[in-house]
Amino acid sequence: MSINLDGKVVLVTGTSRGIGQELVRQFARSGAKVAFCARRPEPLRALEAELAREGREVMGVVADVTQPEEVAGLVGKTLERHGRIDVLINNVGIAGPTKAIEDTELSEWNDTLAGNLTSSFLCLRAVVPVMKKHGGGSVVNIGSITGKRPLTYRVGYAAAKMGVIGLTRTAAEELGPQNIRVNCICPGAVDGERLEEIMAGQASQRGITVEEVKQAFQGFSPLRALVQAEDVAHLALFLASDLSRHMTGQDVNVTAGIVMY
C-alpha cells in the first residue's frame, strides 16, 4: 500500500496497543510526522523507539483525552514541534462494561460515553481552529460496527459509537466550507487484545466458551474472517489523503462484510 503523506502532520489518539499502534506505524511509514498519545507512558516510549530506529519522525505524548486540559497540552506539544496538524485520527475508545442494562451503573454509562464520544469531541474542538488557520485538514473518527448493528450487553458502547456517526456528519457539514473533511471508520471485530477481552466478557455473560463466541463473530462474516488492525489503518490512510478529497461525512465499514449499510 503506498499512499504518500510526506510532510503531513498527523495526530493519532489511543496508541499504547491495538489499532492505534498500527495507525501510528502506517502513517509514519507513509512519510507523515506523527504525534500520538495514550495514558500509559511505557508503550508510547517503546513505539517511539521502534519507529525512530526506522528513521521516522514520531512523538509520543502522555495524555488522557477525556480531560480538556490534557487535550490542550497534547495539541500544544504537537504545534510546538510541528507548527500545524493536517490529520486528526480520533481512535481512542474503551469497551465499557459487558452487562445487562439493569445492571449497568450510571458511572459506567458516563465513563463509556466519555471514553468513546466526549474524547472525540474534545480533540476535534481543539484541532479545528488549527486546521482552519492552515486552510483545511482531514479528521477520521474510529466508530464501530456496534454503532450500526446491536451487540447485547454493550448498551453504552453502542450508543456512544452511534453518537460518533452523528458527530461525524454534523462536523462534516459545518466544517466542509473550511476545507476540513470529517469521516468515520466502523471496524468489525478486530483481531487483538481488546477483542480477546470482549469475547471473554460475552462468553461469561452467555455461558458459552470463548471459542464459541469467536466462531459466532467469524460466522457472521461472508468472508468468515476477523478484521486485522492493518485493514483499518489502510482505510485511514486513504481517508487522510487527497485520494478521498471528495469524501466527507461518511461512515465506512471494515467489517469483513458483517454490515453492509
Binding residues for ligand NAP (CB under 6 A):
13-20, 37-40, 64-66, 91-94, 115, 119, 142, 144-145, 187, 189-190, 192-195
Least distance to ligand NAP, CB of residue 157, Å = 7
Least distance to ligand NAP, CB of residue 49, Å = 16
Side chain identity at residue 242, one-letter code: D
Question: Which residues on adjacent β-strands are paired with residue 138?
Answer: 87, 181
The catalytic residue among 36, 157, 217, 238 is 157
State which residue, 13 or 138, has the beta carbon closest to ligand NAP.
13
261 is catalytic: no
State which residue, 55 or 219, has the beta carbon closest to ligand NAP.
219
State which residue, 50 or 132, has the beta carbon closest to ligand NAP.
50
State which residue, 7 or 46, has the beta carbon closest to ligand NAP.
46
Q: Where do we find the cell 460518533?
A: 164
> In terms of residues, how long is the chain?
261
Least distance to ligand NAP, CB of residue 50, Å = 15
Side chain identity at residue 51, one-letter code: L
Least distance to ligand NAP, CB of residue 150, Å = 14
- Just list the catalytic residues: 157
